Chains A and B, each alone.
Chain A
Amino acid sequence: ETGVTQSPTHLIKTRGQQVTLRCSSQSGHNTVSWYQQALGQGPQFIFQYYREEENGRGNFPPRFSGLQFPNYSSELNVNALELDDSALYLCASSNKQGGETQYFGPGTRLLVL
């Protein structure tokens, strides 16, 4: 069974640029959630996708957007990058909407200069 994978592992961008992060969910999982983890902090929920639709969103501005594809993989897009967007971005998958354990990928570390 393949676990959750994310790409790239590391990324450096400059302020104002746009970035796309990718996540492949664990086999059999149809729900993907994205989290932002700033240095020394707990992860913060960005949004969740279930069957290709956004299924909940945390306190993040609209420049954070996402997609889920028919194979349940997902993308996180961030426009107009700010210095505070520097963080570890974590993707988690689970096997149905709500109530199921989320399994995390290794994360993408984004540095915005």
Chain B
Amino acid sequence: GDSVTQMEGPVTLSEEAFLTINCTYTATGYPSLFWYVQYPGEGLQLLLKATKADDKGSNKGFEATYRKETTSFHLEKGSVQVSDSAVYFCALTSSNSGYALNFGKGTSLLVTP
């Protein structure tokens, strides 16, 4: 079945450092890929998405490119801020999963001043 694998956290970075959170997936067909962010005590917020190969999703300085050849969707940001501290979830939907979101386990990010 479909699955998503994320790098394990926690990830601790200093403010203005470069961020990469790795995400790889297994899916039949042509999944759509997502990054969601969860701030402490809150629900999930959509950060960005990509629906086909080579698409780049971007939002708030974050970017991720849908790489079909490597089945990856790594999240990047050039300069993190303290306010980016949160848990980041990679997820996919596909016709195989009935369009239910299939999430990775999440990666906790802590940005220190």
| CB pair B43 A90 closer than 8 Å | yes
Instruction: Give residues in A with beta carbon < 8 Å to B.
Output: 6, 33, 35, 40-45, 48, 55-56, 58, 88, 90, 92, 97-107
User: Which residues of chain B (72-113) have a CB below 8 Å from chain A?
Assistant: 89, 91, 93, 95, 97-106
| CB pair A92 B101 closer than 8 Å | yes
Most buried by A among B32, B42, B43, B103: B43
Interface size class of B (residues with CB under 8 A): 20 to 34
| CB pair A106 B42 closer than 8 Å | yes
Q: Does B45 contact A (CB under 8 A)?
A: yes
Instruction: Give residues in B with beta carbon < 8 Å to A.
Output: 32, 34, 36, 42-46, 49, 89, 91, 93, 95, 97-106
Chain B residue with minimal CB distance to A90?
B43
| CB pair A101 B95 closer than 8 Å | no
Cα–Cα, bound, A13→B32 (Å)? 37
Chain A residue with minimal CB distance to B108?
A40
| CB pair A42 B100 closer than 8 Å | no
| CB pair A55 B89 closer than 8 Å | no
Measured between beta carbons, the chain B residues less than 8 angstroms from A105 are 43
| CB pair B100 A41 closer than 8 Å | no
Given contacts A98-B98, A106-B42, contact A42 B89 (CB under 8 A): yes
Which of B45, B46, B101 meets A45, CB within 8 Å?
Answer: B101
Cα–Cα, bound, A33→B93 (Å)? 13
Closest approach, in angstroms, between the C-beta of B23 and any C-beta of chain A? Answer: 12
Closest approach, in angstroms, between the C-beta of B3 and any C-beta of chain A? Answer: 11
Cα–Cα, bound, A35→B43 (Å)? 11
Closest approach, in angstroms, between the C-beta of B91 and any C-beta of chain A? Answer: 8
Measured between beta carbons, the chain B residues less than 8 angstroms from A88 are 43
Which of A44, A99, A101 meets B46, CB within 8 Å?
Answer: A101
Cα–Cα, bound, A29→B33 (Å)? 20
